[in-house]
Structure 1
Amino acid sequence: MKEVDNLEKGNKLKRIDSSYIIHEITHLLHLESGFLFTVKQLFIRPGKLVRSFIFEDRSKITKPIIFLIFSATLFTVIFHFFHIKYEFFSLNQKIGNIDQYLEKKALSEWVNNHIGYTSLIIGFFIALWLKVFFRKHNYNIYEITVLLCYSFGQTLLIIVVFSLLEFLLKIKLIAIIGVFTGYFYIFWSIGQFFGEKKIINYVKTILCCILGAISFRLILILLATIFYQLGIK
Structure 2
Amino acid sequence: MEEVDSVAHHNKLKRIDSSYIIHEIKHLLHIESGFLFTVKQLFVRPGRLVRNFILEDRSKVTKPLIFLILSGTIFTLIFHFFHIEYIFFSLDQKIGNIDTFLEKRKISDWTNNHIGYSSLIIGFFIALWTALFFKKHKYNVYEITILLCYSVGQGLLIISLSAFISIIFKTKPIASVGVFASYFYIFWSIGQFFGEKKVINYIKAIICCILGALSFQLILMLLAYIFHQLGIK
Relative to the length of structure 1, the TM-score reads: 0.92
The residue type equivalent to 2:226 in the other structure is: I
Alpha-carbon displacement from aligned partner over 1:49-74 (angstroms, at most 9, x marks no partner):
00001111111000000000000001
Find out whether 1:196 has 2:191 as its counterpart.
no
Runs in 1 of length 4+ with deviation above 3 angstroms? 3-6, 9-12, 100-105, 230-233
CA distance in 1, matches of 2:93, 2:77: 28
Residue 120 of structure 1 is matched in structure 2 by: 120
Q: CA deviation at 1:48?
A: 0.3
Q: CA deviation at 1:102?
A: 4.0
Deviates more, 1:8-17 or 1:172-181: 8-17
Q: CA deviation at 1:110?
A: 1.1
The verdict on how the C-alpha distance between 1:7 and 1:227 changes in structure 2, with shifts beyond 3 A counting, is same
RMSD across aligned positions (CA)? 2.1
Q: CA deviation at 1:168?
A: 1.4
1:93–1:103 CA contact under 8 A, matched in 2: no
1:111–1:118 CA contact under 8 A, matched in 2: yes
CA distance in 2, matches of 1:70, 1:44: 20
Relative to the length of structure 2, the TM-score reads: 0.92
What are the equivalent positions in structure 2 for 1:66-105 lying under 5 Å apart? 66-99=66-99, 101-105=101-105
CA distance in 2, matches of 1:58, 1:170: 40
Q: CA deviation at 1:149?
A: 0.3
The residue type equivalent to 1:63 in the other structure is: K
The verdict on how the C-alpha distance between 1:21 and 1:9 changes in structure 2, with shifts beyond 3 A counting, is closer
For the residue of structure 2 that corresponds to 1:11, the secondary structure is: helix
The verdict on how the C-alpha distance between 1:46 and 1:6 changes in structure 2, with shifts beyond 3 A counting, is farther
What are the equivalent positions in structure 2 for 1:154-169 lying under 5 Å apart? 154-169=154-169
Query: Once the two structures are aligned, what percentage of the paired residues are identical?
Result: 73
CA distance in 2, matches of 1:221, 1:170: 38
What are the equivalent positions in structure 2 for 1:1-233 lying under 5 Å apart? 5=5, 7-8=7-8, 11-32=11-32, 34-99=34-99, 101-233=101-233
For the residue of structure 2 that corresponds to 1:156, the secondary structure is: helix
Q: Please, which runs of 5 or more residues in structure 2 have no aligned partner? A: none
When the two structures are aligned, how many residues end up with a matched partner?
Answer: 232
Q: CA deviation at 1:101?
A: 4.8
